[in-house]
Amino acid sequence: MLLIPAIDLKDGHCVRLQQGDMELATVFSDNPADMARHWLRQGARRLHLVDLNGAFAGKPKNEGAVKAILKAVQEFAVENGVDEIPVQLGGGIRDLDTIERYLDAGISYIIIGTAAVKSPGFLHDACSAFPGHIIVGLDAKDGKVATDGWSKMSGHEVIDLAKKFEAYGVESIIYTDIGRDGMMGGINIEATVKLAQAVKIPVIASGGLHNLGDVEALCAVQAEGIEGVICGRSIYEGTIDLASAQLRADELSDAA
């Protein structure tokens, strides 16, 4: 079970939102690259980046901060003799040229969310052009998928879309319960498991992680196909210690 720190970028800063509301942003760092180094030193094996401005604008807005993070990650990998530390990025990615540019810069996985729902042809083309590098982000409330930075609800069922996108060739699915995101009320284990059981590709849980008990609960069901969890406010506010939580997850994975 991978614990994946989130670095959400707004106006070049590292922030966290409550339920996707740009007006409810807490700034945790003015230097996202330093924050990336911090999580890597704490034992993170993968990083999750979101260009929040890009998600609302429909085009990249924090490219400079993303490149600074990638430079920090690459330097850390060299210093510590690590082959690769994957970095996944979402937010406002709407065309193949942008995907190619980010992959060339060192991003490992591109996350497509709103565009996957609104322009499934684009997602299909992306999976064909960049196999193994495309993750789909499904953000849902009460089983229905939301788009446009969670500001609009679609009529699509999560599991129906997940199966459709699996057939396109997406590498994995990030499933966020937007009713819980940023609220630290606990992961929606039941809905995450239900989704993981419906597809063969890995699912990454997101939204509501609060404490070590949530990590342990996810580890107990990881055999259903849940490979990781996005860590946001919990690690920034200290309700989870990333290093000890990842060690605990490794222990439980080894024992399984």
Catalytic residue positions, numbered: 8, 139
β 47-51/87-90 pair status: parallel
**Are β-strands 144-147 and 134-141 bridged in parallel, bridged antiparallel, or unpaired?**
antiparallel
Rounded Cα distance, 59 and 49, in Å? 15
DSSP string, 137-150: EEEEETTEEEETTT
Closest to 23 in 3D by CA, of 12, 35, 31, 15: 15
Q: Give the DSSP H or E segment for 5.
A: strand 2-10
Contact between 41 and 79 under an 8 Å Cβ cutoff? The reply is: no
Which residue reads 């993750």 in tokens? 135
Neighbours of 30 (CB within 10 A): 11
